[in-house]
C-alpha cells in the first residue's frame, strides 16, 4: 500500500509554475530524501505535504485520504523545522507537549508520552529549561521530540541539520538514522546536502528547477544518474563529465578522448546496445566518478573492464585519507581519487587506470543518460 502518495502535484505562484507534475509514491517505513540546490522546489513540496502551502494541481494523499483541503494539524504529520521553531516562551516540556495540549489530550497521558520521548532522546534533564538556554544539538533533539511525541503517520524534516556545526551534524545524522531504524517511521526529509541524502535515505528524489530529476535508491542515483545534473550534483568531488566521441572498437564501443598532449585516447566501454550505437561517431559525454580513475595498484578487484590511460598530472591534492589528482582530458579538468600514499608528481605523465564498469554515457544535447 502506498502510504504517502504525491500524485501529479504542481505548484504555481500566479502565472509562474515552480513545481511541475511531481509524482512520488512513498511506502510505509521509507526514508525519502528530497535533495537539490536552493530554489529547486524541495521545501515547497515539503510544505505542501505539511499543508503550509496550497496545492495548485494534483493530489497528495496520506493513507489513502486526500489531504489537499485538510488543515495541517489534522493530517497526522509532524515536522522538524530548519530553525527548530521552538516556542521561546515555553519550557522544553511545554514545547514538546503543546501539540498534544492543542489536541485536547489529558494531562496524565501527555506527561507519560513526554517522559517516554525525553528518555528516548536523552533530554530528560532539560525539560524545565527554556529553549534559549540550550545548545544547538539540544534544541535539535527537542524539535525532534516535539515531532516524535505526536506519533504521526509521516515525519517531515526541513533541513534539520543545516544550523549545526560540521561535527555535530555528522553525529545527529547518525542519530536520525538510528531513530529511523528503531521506529520504522515514514520520513520525508529535505536537504541540499548530497551526503546527507546518500547516507540517510532509503530513496532519494533529486530535484532541480521544479522537476524531479531522478527518483531512486542511493545506489541507483549514484551509479546510474539519470542525467548530467544528477551526475554532477550527487557525489563529492562530483563526477567527471568529459566530452568524447563514440567509436566502434574491437566489436564493442569505445569513447574517444583527447589527451593532454593533444593525442587521441580510446577507452572501451563495458556497455553496448542499439541506443548507444545510434551515437556512433557522434559526440557524447563520458561520465566517470573520481574513484573509478586510480593508479594501477588501486584498481577495484571486482572490476571487469579496466583501461590504462597515460596523461599529464597537473595538480595533486593530498587530503589525508585520499589524494586527489587533477589531469586534463578533452580540454576539461578531470579529478582522480587515489590512495593517500600514491606516488604522483605534478608536471609528469602518469599511468592512470580507468574502471570503465563505472562509466556512464550522456547525450550532450539532452544531457540524459544513454541506456544500453
Q: Which stretch binds another protein (CB under 8 A): 45-53, 200-208, 259-267, 284-292?
A: 45-53
Whether the Cβ atoms of residue 97 and residue 91 lie closer than 8 Å to each other: no
3-state secondary structure of 183: helix
**How long is the chain?**
372
CB of 314 to another protein, least distance (A): 36
User: Of 34, 49, 77, 234, which one interacts with another protein (CB under 8 A)?
Assistant: 77
Q: Which of 365, 368, 290 is nearest to 329 (CA)?
A: 290
Q: 69: Cβ–Cβ under 8 A, 6 or more apart, which residues?
A: none
Instruction: Identify the bridge partners of residue 284 per DSSP, sorted by sequence position.
Output: 244
Q: Which stretch binds another protein (CB under 8 A): 77-85, 133-141, 177-185, 331-339?
A: 77-85
By CB under 8 A, is residue 12 in contact with another protein?
no
Q: Which stretch binds another protein (CB under 8 A): 36-44, 47-55, 116-124, 171-179?
A: 47-55
User: Of 34, 35, 45, 67, which one interacts with another protein (CB under 8 A)?
Assistant: 67
By CB under 8 A, is residue 15 in contact with another protein?
no
Whether the Cβ atoms of residue 245 and residue 255 lie closer than 8 Å to each other: yes
By CB under 8 A, is residue 56 in contact with another protein?
no
Q: Which stretch binds another protein (CB under 8 A): 94-102, 190-198, 278-286, 290-298?
A: 94-102
User: Of 15, 102, 166, 365, which one interacts with another protein (CB under 8 A)?
Assistant: 102
DSSP state letter for 370:
P
DSSP state letter for 88:
T
By CB under 8 A, is residue 85 in contact with another protein?
yes
- For the record, the C-alpha cell of 3 comes out as 502510504
Helices (H), the chain: 42-50, 92-102, 107-121, 136-148, 166-183, 194-200, 218-223, 228-233, 274-277
Q: For residues 155 and 348, give the distance between their C-alpha atoms in angstroms, rounded to a whole number.
A: 53
298 burial type by CB count under 10 A (0-12 exposed, 13-18 middle, 19+ buried)? middle
**Binding to another protein, residues 263-302 (CB under 8 A):** none
Q: Which stretch binds another protein (CB under 8 A): 79-87, 173-181, 260-268, 358-366?
A: 79-87
By CB under 8 A, is residue 50 in contact with another protein?
yes
CB of 65 to another protein, least distance (A): 5
Our CB check for another protein shows the closer of 47 and 258 to be 47
CB of 113 to another protein, least distance (A): 14
User: Of 8, 37, 66, 366, which one interacts with another protein (CB under 8 A)?
Assistant: 66
User: Of 36, 41, 51, 216, which one interacts with another protein (CB under 8 A)?
Assistant: 51
Q: 55: Cβ–Cβ under 8 A, 6 or more apart, which residues?
A: 9, 11, 48, 68
Amino acid at each position: 500500500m502506498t502510504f504517502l502518495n504525491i500524485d501529479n502535484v504542481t505548484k504555481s505562484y500566479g502565472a509562474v509554475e515552480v513545481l511541475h507534475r511531481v509524482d512520488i509514491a512513498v511506502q510505509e517505513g521509507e526514508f525519502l530524501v528530497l535533495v537539490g540546490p536552493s530554489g529547486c522546489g524541495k521545501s515547497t513540496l515539503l510544505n505542501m505535504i505539511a499543508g503550509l502551502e496550497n496545492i495548485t494541481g494534483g493530489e497528495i494523499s496520506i493513507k489513502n485520504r486526500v489531504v489537499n483541503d485538510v488543515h495541517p494539524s489534522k493530517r497526522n504529520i509532524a515536522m522538524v523545522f530548519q530553525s527548530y521553531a521552538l516556542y521561546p516562551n515555553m519550557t522544553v516540556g511545554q514545547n514538546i507537549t503543546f501539540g498534544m495540549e492543542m489536541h485536547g489530550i489529558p494531562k496524565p497521558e501527555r506527561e507519560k508520552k513526554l517522559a517516554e520521548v525525553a528518555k528516548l532522546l536523552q533530554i530528560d534533564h532539560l525539560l524545565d529549561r527554556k529553549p534559549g538556554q540550550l545548545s544547538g544539538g539540544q534544541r535539535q533533539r527537542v524539535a525532534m521530540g516535539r515531532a516524535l511525541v505526536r506519533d504521526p503517520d509521516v515525519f517531515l524534516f526541513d533541513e534539520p541539520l543545516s544550523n549545526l556545526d560540521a561535527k555535530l551534524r555528522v553525529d545527529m545524522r547518525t542519530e536520525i538514522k538510528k531513530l529511523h531504524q528503531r521506529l520504522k517511521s515514514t520520513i520525508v526529509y529535505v536537504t541540499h546536502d548530497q551526503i546527507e541524502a546518500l547516507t540517510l535515505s532509503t530513496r532519494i528524489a533529486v530535484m532541480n528547477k521544479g522537476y524531479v530529476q531522478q527518483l531512486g535508491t542511493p545506489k541507483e542515483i549514484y551509479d546510474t544518474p539519470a542525467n548530467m545534473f544528477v551526475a554532477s550534483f550527487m557525489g563529492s568531488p562530483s563526477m567527471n563529465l568529459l566530452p568524447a566521441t563514440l567509436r566502434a572498437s574491437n566489436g564493442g564501443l569505445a569513447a574517444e578522448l583527447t589527451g593532454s598532449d593533444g593525442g587521441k585516447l580510446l577507452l572501451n566501454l563495458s556497455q553496448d546496445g542499439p541506443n548507444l550505437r545510434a551515437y556512433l561517431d557522434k559526440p557524447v559525454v563520458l561520465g566517470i566518478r573520481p574513484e573509478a580513475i586510480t593508479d594501477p595498484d588501486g584498481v577495484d578487484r571486482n572490476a571487469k573492464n579496466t583501461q590504462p590511460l597515460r596523461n599529464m598530472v597537473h595538480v595533486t591534492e593530498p587530503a589525508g585519507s585520499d589524494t586527489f589528482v587533477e589531469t586534463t582530458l578533452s580540454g576539461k579538468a578531470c579529478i582522480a581519487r587515489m590512495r593517500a600514499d600514491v606516488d604522483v608528481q605534478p608536471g609528469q605523465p602518469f599511468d592512470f587506470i580507468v574502471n570503465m564498469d563505472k562509466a556512464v554515457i550522456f547525450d550532450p544535447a539532452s544531457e540524459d543518460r544513454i541506456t544500453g
